[in-house]
Amino acid sequence: MTDTNAVRSGTGTPETGCPATLNFMTEHVTLKDVAAHAGVSRTTASYVVTGEGRVSQKTRERVAASMKELGYVYNRGAASLRTQRSSTIGVVVTNIASPFFGELLVGLEDELRAAGFLSLIVATGDDPARQEQIITELREHQIAGLAVVPASGSPKELLDTIAASRVPHVFMTRYLEGEPVPYVGPDDVEGGRLAAQHLLEHGCQTLAYLGGRDVVLSRRDRLDGVRSAVHSARLDKDAVIDVPGDATGESGLDAGERLLAAGPLPDGVICHSDSVAFGFYRALRNHGVPTDSVRLIGYDDIRGAALFEPTLTSIATHPEELGRAAGRKLLTALGVTEPAGTELIETFAPELVVRGSCGCGG
């Protein structure tokens, strides 16, 4: 009977295409009810609820009492419709479960909350198609702003789409080439350089970079940093072994296995994340190779890095701070905060945290 192809984008399951399943809400206590109960007009009740307008203290209290008594709940949707303003922020990340993004979200959310915004957090699973779907959906929810960690392999048009939507936005941790956009992320070139330099200073002749997806820009940047350090140390270019994968522990295990199978180990290893390092060490142990036979540096300095055996030397990127900075940048883009810095693109210098795994007496 009903025609099948609804056009509204965000509804229905992506898989089945069946119509969105919505749920009935319960009957509401509205401002009108409150006003009637308190014996004032809707206007006055509204003034009380927003704190605007001229209302006597007496009336204010009476209305507040009515609200409490009736169990009134403010309807932001309706208010938003009328005022054309919104206080929700769309937050798009690739993966909520990763420790790095987890900590980043904590910082971001906290900063936004403090300014009165609520974060709509959604994960893309690093899939550009799903990411696009999600961003449209968020726009349908009348978000005031957007904070995005772009899925790797995001098309350039993503930038145009977002720019065209005129929603204030900030990109995080993964930089997309194209028009310059507000961006907050770690300085990955510097991070790679820092790690490589440290290993080279301690006599490493060959460096392997393990894990991380090939398409991810942060990985390429770090490798650039590594190569520049190798160059400065007057070592040959192919002193750098490149083993892509992804950012998980399993990937590190896998990379380790492949490295072991390929012949003698490099004497220096840089891992795309601390989790990758954990996996790499597991591979060594599975093969009875002592863990101190390589100097290793992890990345991100997640909570567990200091507890592992060996304790992990790592490049700290301070994800929570990064999230805070992104939050602040978005707030200025929204116009609620005075611009702190004038820079559109803000990169944070990473920090080498020396512990045991690099073998220089931690």
Partner DNA sequence: CGGAATTGCTGAATCGATCCACCAATCATA
Partner DNA sequence: TATGATTGGTGGATCGATTCAGCAATTCCG
Residue 84 near DNA by CB under 7 A:
yes
CB atoms within 10 A of CB 263: 7
Question: 162, 168 in Cβ contact below 8 A?
Answer: no
171, β-bridge pairs: 148, 183
Q: Which does 253 bind (CB under 5 to 8 A by kind): DNA, its own copies, none?
A: its own copies
Of the candidates 184, 189, 163, which has an alpha carbon nearest to the alpha carbon of residue 174?
184
Choose the binding region for DNA from 53-61, 197-205, 225-233, 286-294 (rule: CB under 7 A): 53-61
| Whole-number Å distance between alpha carbons of 195 and 228 | 11
| Whole-number Å distance between alpha carbons of 264 and 287 | 13
- Which 181-210 residues touch DNA, going by CB under 7 A? none
Residue 81 near DNA by CB under 7 A:
yes
Smallest separation (angstroms) from DNA to the CB of 165: 15
CB atoms within 10 A of CB 82: 9
Question: 150, 173 in Cβ contact below 8 A?
Answer: no
Q: Which two tokens stand for residue 171?
A: 């990109």
Sorted by sequence, the CB contacts under 8 Å of residue 151 that are 6+ apart come out as 94, 124, 125, 126, 127, 128, 130, 131
Longest CA span, the chain = 85
**How many amino acids of this chain bind DNA (CB under 7 A)?**
30
Smallest separation (angstroms) from its own copies to the CB of 249: 5
Place of tokens 């080279």: 200
Residue 141 near DNA by CB under 7 A:
no
Q: Which does 41 bind (CB under 5 to 8 A by kind): DNA, its own copies, none?
A: DNA
Of the candidates 260, 187, 200, which has an alpha carbon nearest to the alpha carbon of residue 227?
200
Which residue from 37, 46, 88, 190 is in contact with DNA, where contact means CB under 7 A?
46
Question: 215, 240 in Cβ contact below 8 A?
Answer: no
Q: Which is nearer to DNA, 200 or 334 (CB)?
A: 334
Which residue from 15, 16, 71, 82 is in contact with DNA, where contact means CB under 7 A?
82
Q: Which is nearer to DNA, 47 or 101 (CB)?
A: 47
Q: Which does 342 bind (CB under 5 to 8 A by kind): DNA, its own copies, none?
A: none
Q: Which is nearer to DNA, 77 or 339 (CB)?
A: 77
Of the candidates 233, 247, 228, which has an alpha carbon nearest to the alpha carbon of residue 299?
247
Q: Which does 136 bind (CB under 5 to 8 A by kind): DNA, its own copies, none?
A: its own copies
| Whole-number Å distance between alpha carbons of 147 and 173 | 11
Extract the runs of DSSP E, i.e. beta strands, from 115-174. Answer: 118-123, 145-148, 169-172
Q: Which does 32 bind (CB under 5 to 8 A by kind): DNA, its own copies, none?
A: DNA
209, β-bridge pairs: 242, 270
Smallest separation (angstroms) from its own copies to the CB of 267: 21
Choose the binding region for DNA from 51-59, 92-100, 114-122, 317-325 (rule: CB under 7 A): 51-59
| Whole-number Å distance between alpha carbons of 323 and 337 | 16
Residue 42 near DNA by CB under 7 A:
yes
Smallest separation (angstroms) from DNA to the CB of 57: 7
Residue 75 near DNA by CB under 7 A:
yes
Q: Which does 31 bind (CB under 5 to 8 A by kind): DNA, its own copies, none?
A: DNA
Q: Which is nearer to its own copies, 169 or 193 (CB)?
A: 169
Q: Which does 353 bind (CB under 5 to 8 A by kind): DNA, its own copies, none?
A: none
Which stretches of the chain bind DNA, using CB under 7 A? 28, 30-32, 39-44, 46-47, 49-50, 52-56, 58-59, 72, 74-75, 78-79, 81-84
